[in-house]
Structure 1
């Protein structure tokens, strides 16, 4: 069995090509383990899930959102039992699921839609009747958002 990628130690005295070769082997090993893990996960949950690590009987997966993570946790007994049939995972005893959102974060607040000219007129009228200076400035600023 190949050394686990997490236990891969780089030696500065190695030939430059040997270090790269070892890194590539570790990446291929990780990818092969990920494929085996994803086949054990129900198909509807496997999309978006990634294999993160397997160390000391702990299998760590990442899920794209909390719903996927909760569903994986609910089905972890089935997943663990199926993976234990694989010789590389025979000592698996715990499944950890971490939420790692994918893609870009949602954009900030969208600009407020413009208000009607009638509402702008009412806001300016109300601003003229108020005695609070801060409130008056806010109402006038809102009134300037009117549609043309």
Structure 2
């Protein structure tokens, strides 16, 4: 039994998941952190480029609609209606985890999707980070292609 568990952990830690990324020109444009469209707020959801959980892909949703699937070192950018509350969530090991984000028109928001230990494959959660930290992290990642969620 211990050998099976060790093999599973090794597989999860050594494999490397990837998702389709947008052309570099689109990624570069999103990293300019321009003001969102009128009456909109901009939401960046990113996953750091760190070696923990590299074999795991996790879906991200805004208001229960698929934004896309993350892997290490990617981000999504999506405009949402300003002056409203939005539900940002991610799939996790047993159930989705999420947060409510009150937005103001004209502002940018940064949400970090992070992995956490799980019983079988690992979980995920999301948290709001300040603009300075968010920009610093997004600069080191690539824009992922939107719209592919596998947990639906």
Scaled to the shorter chain, the TM-score interval is: under 0.3
* Structure possessing the higher relative contact order (Cα contacts under 8 Å, 6 or more residues apart): 2
**Structure with the bigger percentage of helix:** 1
Normalised TM-score (structure 1): 0.25
Higher Rg of the two aligned structures: 1
Which structure is higher in strand share? 2
